[in-house]
Amino acid sequence: MEKLTTILFVILLAATGVHAQTGHGTLKVPLEKMNAKRLPDLNIPRCGHALLYLNGELTVFGGHTTGFIPTPTAEYFKDGTWKALPSIYTHDDGFCLLQKDGTVLLGGGLPEPFGVGQSLAVERYRPDSHSFEPLPILDRKRATSRAVELENGAILVAGNWYADDALEVFSADKGFVPAKELAENRSYPWILPTAPDNALIFSATDSRGFRGKGWVDRYQGDPFQEPLLTQYYVLNSNGDMVQHVCEIGQPRQGNYDYLLLAVNDSLEAEGILRVHGDTFSLLELETDIPIDGLGGRIVYNPLMGYGGYAWSLGTDASKRAYLLQIGYKPALEGGKATLKLYYTDPLEGLPRYGACTMLPDGQIALAGGIDRSNYTPFASVYLFNPSGVSTGGSSARTAGMITGILAASALVALGLWIAGRRKKDAPDHSEPDQQGAKNQRDRELFQKVSALMEEGLYKKKGLSIADLATTLGSNTKYISSCINAGAGCSFYDYVNGYRIRYAQQLMREDSRQKLSDIADAAGFASESAFYRNFKLVTGETPADWMARISE
Q: At 267, is the pLDDT very low, low, confident or very high (cuts 50, 70, 90)?
A: low
Same domain, 449 and 399: no
Does the residue 364 lie in any domain? yes
pLDDT at 65 over 70: yes
Residue numbers of the domain that contains 455: 433-549
Mean pLDDT of 266-286: 87
**By C-alpha distance, which of 259, 279, 354 is closest to 313?**
354
- The CATH number linked to 328 is 2.130.10.10
Same domain, 354 and 217: yes
Does the residue 424 lie in any domain? no
Q: End of a domain among 357, 385, 419?
A: 419
pLDDT at residue 408, as a whole number: 33
311-349 pLDDT, tens digit per residue, is: 999 999 999 999 999 999 999 999 999 999 999 999 999
**By C-alpha distance, which of 302, 170, 313 is closest to 236?**
302
Rounded to 5 degrees, φ, ψ at 194 are -125, 0
Indicate the DSSP class of residue 500: H
- The CATH number linked to 483 is 1.10.10.60
For every residue of 105-149, DSSP letters joined together read EEE----BTTTB--B--EEEEETTTTEEEE-PPPSS-BSS-EEEE
Mean pLDDT of 300-318: 92
Mean pLDDT taken over the chain? 84
Per the model's pLDDT, the better-predicted residue between 420 and 155 turns out to be 155
Does the residue 258 lie in any domain? yes
pLDDT at 422 over 70: no
Indicate the DSSP class of residue 422: -
Q: At 372, is the pLDDT very low, low, confident or very high (cuts 50, 70, 90)?
A: confident
Q: End of a domain among 419, 447, 462?
A: 419
Does the residue 521 lie in any domain? yes
For every residue of 336-369, DSSP letters joined together read -BEEEEEE-S--TT--SEEEEEE-TTS-EEEEEE
Question: How many domains are there within the chain?
Answer: 2
Mean pLDDT of 206-222: 94
For every residue of 181-210, DSSP letters joined together read --SS--BS-EEEEEETTEEEEE-SB-TTSS
- As a whole number of angstroms, the distance between CA 159 and CA 190 comes to 9
pLDDT at residue 260, as a whole number: 96
Mean pLDDT of 264-279: 82
Same domain, 349 and 449: no
Under a CB-based contact definition with an 8 Å cutoff, are residues 190 and 201 in contact?
A: yes
522-535 pLDDT, tens digit per residue, is: 999 888 889 888 88
Mean pLDDT of 57-62: 97
Same domain, 97 and 14: yes
Q: End of a domain among 388, 419, 450?
A: 419
pLDDT at residue 389, as a whole number: 52
pLDDT at residue 29, as a whole number: 80
Report the percentage of the chain scoring pLDDT > 70. 85
Same domain, 486 and 374: no
